[in-house]
Structure 1
Amino acid sequence: MKRTKRVLGLALAAVMCVGLLAGCGGNPSSSDTADDASGAETSEKVLNIATIGETTTLSPLYMIADNRPTQKLLYEGLVKYVDGEIQPVLAEDWELSEDGTQLTFYLRQGVTFHDGEPFNAEAAIANIESWHINPSFASLPGVVNYTNIEAVDEYTIRLTYDTPYFAYINDFCWPDVCTMISPKLITQGDFQTVNGYAGTGPYIYDEYVAGQYTTFVRNENYWGEQPYYDKIVAKYIPDNASRVQALQTGEIDLIYGSAELSYEDYNQAIAIDGIEGKFAPSGSTVRNIILNFNGNLSDLSVRQALAYAIDKEAISEGLTYGYEPVADTIVPDGTPYSDICGTIDYTYNVDRANQILDEAGWAMNESTGIREKDGTPLHVVFTCPTDDSTIGSIATLIQSQLAEVGIEVEIKSMEKMEWYASYMEPTGWDITAMTAGFFNYAMPQCWFSAMMAQMPEDVSIPLLDNSDEFISALSEFKTCNDDTRLRELFELLINTDLDQVLDVPLTHQMDMIVYNTDKIADYNFASDYAFLDVTQITPAE
């Protein structure tokens, strides 16, 4: 077996239903208390950042978008994805056997967790075994499909699989869930209890003040290059306008990410003297709505009409100021299968939408403006989580667009935990908003792996015109290493998904940063654009 690092090139992005539980609420931050905590009057180098959720769920098991600005402070994985390549972190090297059934990680030596526990093969195995038995990891074959895991020596682990798979190593790139925590904090089989926060990252969890802030201090025993800042203060500011105001007054130094900034917020911020902004070089995710073939949406004609009636350009230009390009596929730009866009062109066409509904027997009730068929109004429920500053506006715009063709949309905005619970109910929703194409190293395999994992309860897949062929392709790609056959399988899966309107991709979601130039000179979007990496900040001189 020749030992060579396996770099899988431009990896593929997807969605994963891992750890979508919300943090607790609270009051807006108190600037006096937070400034005292930040050490503003000392010689410490302090960076103040904003969070839209309280940092009460910082375990990787429950990491949510609200806390992405703090994720990389505490935790690291075995590998990471950077500019189209998989690179080492806590694993210095790795090797996939010639037959694709054994994955070996060679671990970095001299690393300790924040609580003093050593990072070694035993610790890595404890983490991976905890993921392996957690149902939330069902869409990651690299984690859940191994049949044996062993310590070859103190700093080498080996996973054995029954079948090959082209993306085993990709599954270990997730920066929010596939990261290492101290084995002291792991209770095998307990997926609910968070026992504390201790990773191997450049900062250590220090102090939490409910409703105000959390502080992180520099890890003086960090194995890598020491970070610039002595302390990071994450200030809880849930209101959009208040975050921008805090940036203007200097209470915070930056706001990061599409979850924390609407495009209106971005434009307002960069108009302030001394504030600059920057976008990631490309979108690593796709903003998307998912259709459940439930009730009225079991009718393909309704789904097709809905797809024609959504004006994506209006969403791009009207809600994102043109910053988010229109998306025609669920796969982010630049990934190997991003050219697969379905065989049906669902370009905005109100006349075509009306024609389809007329031919399907959905007649317009002129008194209500809502179509009906056999006495049933054409009504659908659109559920959306409240953790993204743009989703609510998109739902409202789609509601008005679909009303033009006689489709009544009821919007239900929910806290993340409530929304997630409704999503997991087979008939608990009609349309929902979700970011597809989560990260370039995971698409489209994790998107379709998640479908496979949920298939026994899935309302939609059995109603596809080619459901047997679709289900067969879902199974086959997870045991395939042949590039030609993989493309055939993903063409079938993506074309079916888009043509029969399982999903309606809207725009390529962009991540961004705005910052005070008296503290920050620049930021480098090096990898995992959705996550702030403070090591990529260039401090102002």
Structure 2
Amino acid sequence: MTKTPLAVLTLALLLAGCGSAAGTSGGTTNTPKSGGTLILGENGQEPPCLDPHGNASSDGPVSTVPVADSLVWFDADGTIQPWLADSWEISNDGRTYTFKLRQGVKFHDGAVWNAEALKVNFEHMRDPATKSPLAASYIAPYKDAKIVDDYTLEVHLSSPYRPFLDILAQGYLGMISPKQIKESPQTICEHPIGSGPFVFDKWTKGQSITYHRNPDYKWGPKSAKHTGPAYLAKLEIRFLAEDATRYNALAAGEVHAIDFTPPQNVEDVKANPDLGFLTAIRPGHPMSFWLNTSRPPFDDIRVRQALLAAVDRESIIQGISFGQYQVAQGFVTSSTPGYAQGLAGTIAYDPAKASKLLDEAGWTARDKDGIRLKDGKRLTAYFPIAANFPAQRMQIAVQTQAAARKIGLDIQIQTPPEQELTDRSIKGDYDLTSGLWATNTADVLWIQYSSKNITTDKRRGQNVARLSDSKLDDLLEKARGTADPAELYNQAQSRLLELVPAIPFYDDPRPVAYQKKVRDLAFTPAYPSPYFYDTWLDE
């Protein structure tokens, strides 16, 4: 697997520099202790479904990784290590992967891990009934599989797909009991059964998820610090949506750790000798406002370029994050394998350029409110958002709206009912929408911008910018099938900076604060989220 040096260095430094304290500082001993219940305060993005294959929430891996092991492990240096797969071979044409599977693994319901179990999981990932917004996109090239023997599965792809092993390391593609998939798939969302170090106990929606240790566990990733069952006897994830509530719960000792530490509290955490801090920039696509390129006004590239130039992203992000967030330099984050280092600084804040571009696009007249006109129509863009839109993103939206108005573009923020919002999203009835996509490969660009991923009547795609560019499509398709796609991804990122299908704002961090009694808390490198297998409590 090829990685850019900066991507490896960024993730490694963040994990080592900020995370080493989890295993070496605080407490009274370095000898792990067994027992205790760790409580994690999670933010309000509670998953609607605990089936890892049907989950799109950023909290998804936190709630499913304790239960579901992955086929392979993505190490911090970007190499792929064995886990539930002992080894694998890839055909010369990149279309056939032959997996030799680990023996002796059992799911929590007693089902055996074998070739049939892996095949059943692949079929579940791509089954439309799973309603998978992530897994199905990730394994889209999967064609079928052949059971060679009990512990060997031959997987056939419709086209070469270089990131296949990378994405199989993510918690979103964790393995679920084949017995549950075949006999009671309707129960997976509420009560997933995996082979992981923790067994699911109970989900009290809006409040918490609890787990207990799997006493028979002995097949953790080979990069783990120990073998055998987890140290923690129990694990509880509490959903604490309000930033202040989450931080105060940590400060008061009501929880042992909090995910997504509020940016306004990060410096306080770092200054507190009783607390530790762990962070990493999530690889993938930065938090952005996507522009609908399929209809006016953003079907005109000059209008898209004008809005990008009009927004002072540096000032906005520094303000809303208290200086904690890194401003995005393009369309993949700086921690993503394949990040194009040479393009940093390409996006410039230039209101004069923005006004000139709109003049060139024919929006020269203005109405009494200062909004530009062309052929008697106002330059207006509609931005429908959910009623529970995150506060920080709302601040970005309001400041973007103000910047746009200064150049004569009227962005109207709307809050339609949830069902209307969903319907409009499917139909493409919007001009702006927001989000990010965290994944451990630059293939996120294919997911977000290939014309194959524009939503149709037959398929829900993730190209919400509805961008269709033959040059970009060609670059991304070639990158998927080559062993060394770095230059192709560089060209693709450069092309996107010309096309401006989105306003990229910041590289999304995963900041975790914890009491020093929490030892060996770590991230899963494939998708930075807390991982508790080696974690123990020094109390």
The bucket for the TM-score relative to the shorter chain is 0.7 to 0.9
Query: Where in structure 2 are the equivalents of 1:413-424 lying within 5 Å?
Result: 422-424=424-426
Q: Are residue 61 (structure 1) and residue 66 (structure 2) matched?
A: no
Moved more, 207-216 or 507-516: 207-216
Give the conservation status (yes or no) of the 8 Å contact 2:40–2:238.
Answer: yes
Q: Which residue of 1 aligns with 2:171?
A: 175
- 1:319-353 residue CA offsets vs partner (Å, 9 max, x unmatched): 22332222222122254532277699430011111
Q: Which residue of 2 aligns with 1:275?
A: 275
1:217 to 212, 217, 238: 212
Q: Which residue of 2 aligns with 1:323?
A: 324
Q: Which residue of 2 aligns with 1:30?
A: none
1:227 to 226, 230, 238: 230
Q: Distance in 2 between matches of 1:286 and 1:430?
A: 19
Q: Distance in 2 between matches of 1:495 and 1:319?
A: 28
Give the conservation status (yes or no) of the 8 Å contact 1:217–1:230.
Answer: yes
Q: What amino acid does structure 2 have at the position aligned with 1:347? A: A
Give the superposition deviation at 1:147. 3.7
Q: Which residue of 2 aligns with 1:50?
A: 41
Q: Are residue 394 (structure 1) and residue 385 (structure 2) matched?
A: no
Give the superposition deviation at 1:48. 0.9
Q: Which residue of 2 aligns with 1:79?
A: 72
Q: What amino acid does structure 2 have at the position aligned with 1:62? A: G
Change (3 A) 1:113 1:387: farther
Change (3 A) 1:470 1:54: closer
Change (3 A) 1:103 1:312: same
Q: Distance in 2 between matches of 1:344 and 1:413?
A: 34
Q: Which residue of 2 aligns with 1:411?
A: 413
Q: Distance in 1 between matches of 2:183 and 2:296?
A: 40
Q: Distance in 1 between matches of 2:487 and 2:353?
A: 30
Give the superposition deviation at 1:487. 5.0
Q: What amino acid does structure 1 have at the position aligned with 2:202? A: E
Q: Distance in 1 between matches of 2:433 and 2:280?
A: 26
Moved more, 56-65 or 97-106: 56-65
Give the conservation status (yes or no) of the 8 Å contact 1:9–1:85.
Answer: no
Secondary structure at the aligned position of 2:109 is classed as: coil
Change (3 A) 1:507 1:213: closer
- 1:430-485 residue CA offsets vs partner (Å, 9 max, x unmatched): 1111214x223353454357642327579998876xx343444454444x3263xx
Q: Structure 1: state its 5+ residue gaps.
A: 1-6, 14-42
RMSD (Å) for aligned C-alpha atoms: 3.6
Q: Distance in 2 between matches of 1:143 and 1:538?
A: 35
Give the conservation status (yes or no) of the 8 Å contact 1:286–1:330.
Answer: yes
Q: Which residue of 2 aligns with 1:441?
A: 441
Give the conservation status (yes or no) of the 8 Å contact 2:298–2:304.
Answer: yes
Moved more, 222-231 or 416-425: 416-425
- 1:359-379 residue CA offsets vs partner (Å, 9 max, x unmatched): 322236363132222222222
Give the superposition deviation at 1:397. 2.2
Q: Which residue of 2 aligns with 1:126?
A: 120
Change (3 A) 1:520 1:412: farther
- 1:292-334 residue CA offsets vs partner (Å, 9 max, x unmatched): 1222112222111001011121133112233222222212225
Q: Are residue 377 (structure 1) and residue 375 (structure 2) matched?
A: no
Give the conservation status (yes or no) of the 8 Å contact 2:384–2:432.
Answer: yes
Q: Are residue 102 (structure 1) and residue 102 (structure 2) matched?
A: no
Q: Distance in 2 between matches of 1:490 and 1:201?
A: 35
Secondary structure at the aligned position of 1:227 is classed as: coil
Give the superposition deviation at 1:82. 1.8
- 1:122-181 residue CA offsets vs partner (Å, 9 max, x unmatched): 1111111122344746886873334431111111111123543323322322322x1111
Q: What amino acid does structure 2 have at the position aligned with 1:72? A: V
Moved more, 45-54 or 441-450: 441-450
Q: What amino acid does structure 2 have at the position aligned with 1:244? A: Y
Give the superposition deviation at 1:96. 0.5
Q: What amino acid does structure 2 have at the position aligned with 1:539? A: L
- 1:238-279 residue CA offsets vs partner (Å, 9 max, x unmatched): 22221122212222111113xxx4312434555667333332
Equivalent pairs, count: 494
Q: What amino acid does structure 1 have at the position aligned with 2:71? A: L
Q: Structure 2: state its 5+ residue gaps.
A: 8-33, 220-226
1:165 to 152, 161, 173: 161
Change (3 A) 1:502 1:529: same
Q: Which residue of 2 aligns with 1:29?
A: none
Moved more, 414-423 or 269-278: 414-423
Q: What is the TM-score with the length of structure 2 in the denominator?
A: 0.80
Q: What amino acid does structure 2 have at the position aligned with 1:50? A: G
Secondary structure at the aligned position of 2:332 is classed as: coil
Give the conservation status (yes or no) of the 8 Å contact 1:301–1:356.
Answer: yes
Q: Which residue of 2 aligns with 1:255?
A: 258
Q: What is the TM-score with the length of structure 1 in the denominator?
A: 0.80
Q: Which residue of 2 aligns with 1:4?
A: none
Q: Distance in 2 between matches of 1:472 and 1:192?
A: 41
Give the conservation status (yes or no) of the 8 Å contact 1:91–1:108.
Answer: yes
Q: Which residue of 2 aligns with 1:453?
A: 453
Q: Distance in 1 between matches of 2:464 and 2:215?
A: 52
Query: Where in structure 2 are the equivalents of 1:241-320 lying within 5 Å?
Result: 241-257=244-260, 261-267=261-267, 269-270=269-270, 274-280=274-280, 286-293=286-293, 294-320=295-321
Q: What amino acid does structure 2 have at the position aligned with 1:440? A: N
